[in-house]
Amino acid sequence: MLIRFTVENFLSFNQRIDFNMIASDDTHHSHHIVKGDSDESIGLLRTSIIYGANASGKSNLIKAMKFARDFIVDGDENKKNINLNNFKLDKTCYTKPSRFEFEFRNQDKQYAYGFLVDKHEIHEEWLFEIGINTEIPIYERAGKKYNFDNFNHEFFSNLSEDTKNSIRYEAENTRKSLLFLTSSSKERDIKDFKSLEPIYEWFNDVLTIIFPKSTPILPISSQSFQGSLSKFLESLDLGIKKITTNEIDLDEYNEIPSALKDEIKKNFPYREAEENIKNEIYIPGLKCVISKAKDETDKFMVLNLSPVRLDKENNEVPFEILEESDGTQRLIDLFPMLTHLARGNAVYIIDEIERSLHSLLIKKLFDYFLNKTENTTSNSQLIATTHEVYLLDIKDIFRKDEIWFVEKDKHGQSVLYSLANTDVENLDLATGYLNGRFGAIPFIKNLKSLGWREEK
Say what the pLDDT of residue 362 is.
85
Report whether the peptide linkage leading into residue 97 is cis, meaning its omega lies within 30 degrees of zero.
Answer: no
H or E segment at 408?
strand 403-408
Question: Which residues share a beta bridge with 209?
Answer: 349
With beta carbons less than 8 A apart as the criterion, state whether 349 and 383 touch.
Answer: yes
DSSP conformation letters of 260-310:
HHHHHHHH-SSSPPPTT---EEEETTTTEEEEE-SSSS--EEEEEEEEEEE
Contacts of 305 by beta carbon, 8 Å cutoff, 6+ apart: 226, 229, 243, 244, 245, 287, 288, 289, 321, 332
Say what the pLDDT of residue 81 is.
81
Q: Which of the 8 DSSP states describes residue 352?
A: S
Say what the pLDDT of residue 87 is.
95
**Residues 153, 158, 161: CA angle, nearest 5 degrees:** 95
With beta carbons less than 8 A apart as the criterion, state whether 192 and 163 touch.
Answer: yes
Q: How many CB atoms lie within 10 A of CB 149?
A: 12
Per residue of the chain (456 residues), what is the pLDDT tens digit? 999 999 999 999 999 999 999 999 888 888 899 987 776 678 999 999 998 877 788 999 999 999 999 999 988 766 678 989 999 999 999 999 999 999 999 988 999 999 999 999 999 999 999 988 889 999 999 998 999 988 889 888 888 888 888 888 889 889 899 999 998 887 555 555 677 888 999 999 899 999 987 777 777 766 678 888 898 888 888 899 999 988 899 989 888 888 888 888 877 765 544 544 557 888 887 788 888 766 666 788 888 889 999 999 999 999 988 899 888 888 888 888 888 888 888 999 999 998 878 777 888 888 888 887 666 667 899 999 987 776 676 567 888 899 898 888 889 999 998 888 666 554 455 454 445 544 444 443 343 443 444 444
Q: d(Cα 129, Cα 153) in Å, to the nearest integer?
A: 9
With beta carbons less than 8 A apart as the criterion, state whether 45 and 381 touch.
Answer: yes
